[in-house]
Amino acid sequence: MESHIVKILSVTPVTHNVRRFTVEKPLGYTFVPGQATEVSLNKPGWAEERRPFTFTGLNDWDHLEFTIKIYDDHHSVTHELGQLQAGDTLILHDVWGAIHYKGEGVFIAGGAGVTPFIAIFRALQQQGELGSNQLIFSNKTSADIILKEEFEQMLGKNFINTLTQETVAGYDHHIVDEDYLKEKITNFKQHFYICGPDPMVQQLKEILTRLAGAADLVTIEI
């Protein structure tokens, strides 16, 4: 299995607990928007601790980008990532599956589960093919919304936010369940893309497969 040691070029905050890592791009390294790789820290005791992260930049950029939620409540890979700075190095492994764009539809994300959709939407915007795609984005609070301004600019009214632990004017306050989906979506004969916490993904996969009447219209991360 191929691996690459890459230097971190910059680390910038996205939200209070999400950071953007810009890193070197190995020669010939390619991916499809929505794909991911396993990343580990190039430091003693951590090199074998691999975690999957989605590419959030585009393939034609001269660098790679990852948008990563940092969990500081336990001694984890992301906690260690949160300590890194420009000049430190990471180990990247093979590119793998994740979510592929199959056509216009509704994207449903929970928290950091939005990351596979970032590159997909950026690529569609670059190609002038955003069309009528929608993003329903569920977060605990408004402070947790990743790339809010960019999604607003790209999607306009097709960017729908709902908060589960906070009531704020201008945002829905509802979990994403069958009732909420029926309120927001009129056409279930289209593609659905789901990414987020496993219980959310499995529940929505079952609901949307039933409402769509076709399992191949529902795409989840694999």
Examine the domain organization and report whether 85 and 13 are in the same domain.
yes
pLDDT tens digits, 99-109: 999 999 999 99
Q: Which of 42, 63, 96 is the last residue of a domain?
A: 96
> In whole angstroms, what is the distance from residue 152 CA to residue 57 CA?
18
Pairing state between β 89-96 and 4-13: antiparallel
CATH classification of the domain holding 18: 2.40.30.10
pLDDT tens digits, 163-186: 999 999 999 999 999 999 999 999
Examine the domain organization and report whether 125 and 183 are in the same domain.
yes
pLDDT tens digits, 8-48: 999 999 999 999 999 999 999 999 999 999 999 999 999 99
Examine the domain organization and report whether 182 and 120 are in the same domain.
yes
Examine the domain organization and report whether 184 and 159 are in the same domain.
yes
The pLDDT assigned to 75 comes to 79
Q: Which of 37, 67, 96 is the last residue of a domain?
A: 96
CA dist 112 → 57, 90, 131, 154 (Å): 15, 21, 24, 19
Residue 64, pLDDT above cutoff 80: yes
Examine the domain organization and report whether 23 and 82 are in the same domain.
yes
Specify the amino acid at residue 92. Answer: L
The pLDDT assigned to 97 comes to 81
Domain that holds residue 75: 4-96
| pTM for the full predicted model | 0.95
Phi, psi angles (nearest 5°) of residue 167: -110, 115
Examine the domain organization and report whether 74 and 112 are in the same domain.
no
Examine the domain organization and report whether 216 and 109 are in the same domain.
yes
**Averaged pLDDT score across all residues of the chain:** 96
DSSP track, 120-145: HHHHHHHHT--TT-EEEEEESSGGG-
Residue 222, pLDDT above cutoff 80: no
Q: How many domains is the chain built from?
A: 2
Examine the domain organization and report whether 202 and 109 are in the same domain.
yes
- Residue in 174, 168, 116, 120 with CA at minimum distance from that of residue 142: 168
What lies within 8 Å, CB to CB, of 32 at 6+ separation is 59, 100
Residue 72, pLDDT above cutoff 90: no
Q: Which of 39, 67, 96 is the last residue of a domain?
A: 96
Band the pLDDT of 74: cuts 50, 70, 90.
confident
Residue 1, pLDDT above cutoff 90: no
Exposure of 51 in the CB half-sphere (CA atoms within 13 A): 16
- Residue in 78, 120, 124, 76 with CA at minimum distance from that of residue 98: 120
Examine the domain organization and report whether 87 and 110 are in the same domain.
no
